[in-house]
Amino acid sequence: MPSHRRKIVAGNWKMNLDRSRVTELAEAVVGRSQEAGGVELVLCPPGVYLGTVGAALKIVDRTSPSGVALGGQNMHDKASGAFTGEVAPPMLVDLGCRYVILGHSERRSLFGETDAIVNAKTKAALAAGLTPIVCVGESLEEREGGRTQAVVTAQVRGSLAGLSPSDLERIVVAYEPVWAIGTGKVATPAQAQEVHALIRGLLASLASPEVAGRVRIQYGGSVKPDNAADLAAQPDIDGALVGGASLKADDFLGIAAAFR
Ligand code: PEP
């Protein structure tokens, strides 16, 4: 039975492109957004280009006429202060963001973000009115050591600690096995579904089965137009967080179309 959850496909552009190319890509996605059907699209450009992409999306009051939403790739958990080089949640809101990616594996592995840090950021994002896309996922060593369930369980519990059921209902979770990110090695649909079902069960234990049934859980890790349909067919996969393939409008929209 198809789920009632609206599918969501987000593009994480990471530290790529320049001003003219972000404009070109955003305009291409907006111009063809109907190809995604009812799938919600989110573009997450580098922070310095949020305003440029927001203008291309014609965002006013965080609403874009095309329905394509804007998201940050990271933020600080404080609203302001002496944190050189950081971006505050209200600043993302001010630039028209509705979403923010938190706890991406690159933030965890390269910038030392722990579950406690991700938890503080998740609470700050919700307090600012942003929808956090909270990323979790095991490394290759952890999967091969049979620790996937334990690692993902600890990340979900740690990153979402202290959230009320109504807060939990407002988040998006992205399951991104680290070994599949940027490697071309996509998890099999069965591998992904197994962990998505685990995450939904954890959300049920943190809130209730009803709340868990409303939370969208994206898969991320080498999603491409040619593997998206098999992932989309899984009952607990509600969309994708896309890195490399989100840099081409054709590929990004092709993935979104698979989730229609
Ligand atoms: C990501 O970085 O979130 C990601 C899923 O990257 P890729 O699609 O390139 O594997």
Q: What tens-digit pLDDT sequence spans the chain (260 residues)? A: 457 999 999 999 999 999 999 999 999 999 999 999 999 999 999 999 999 999 999 999 889 999 999 999 999 999 999 999 999 999 999 999 999 999 999 999 999 999 999 999 999 999 999 999 999 999 999 999 999 999 999 999 999 999 999 999 999 999 999 999 999 999 999 999 999 999 999 999 999 999 999 999 999 999 999 999 999 999 999 999 999 999 999 999 999 999 99
CA of 135 to the centre of ligand 1 (A): 11
Amino acid letter for position 178: V
CA distances for 257 relative to 7, 60, 118, 155, 175, angstroms: 10, 26, 31, 30, 20
**Residue located nearest, by CA, to atom 7 of ligand 1:** 243
Q: Is-catalytic flag, 76? A: no
Nearest atom of ligand 1 to the alpha carbon of 174:
3
- Ligand 1: distance of its center to the CA of 100 in Å? 15
Site to substitute for ligand 1 among 172, 181, 185, most atoms within 8 A of C-beta: 181
Residue 221 CB–ligand 1 contact under 6 Å: yes
pTM of the model: 0.98
* pLDDT number for residue 6: 98
C-beta 176 within 6 A of ligand 1: yes
Distances (CA, A) of 154 to 80, 104, 149, 183: 30, 15, 8, 24
Please give the pLDDT value at position 2: 54
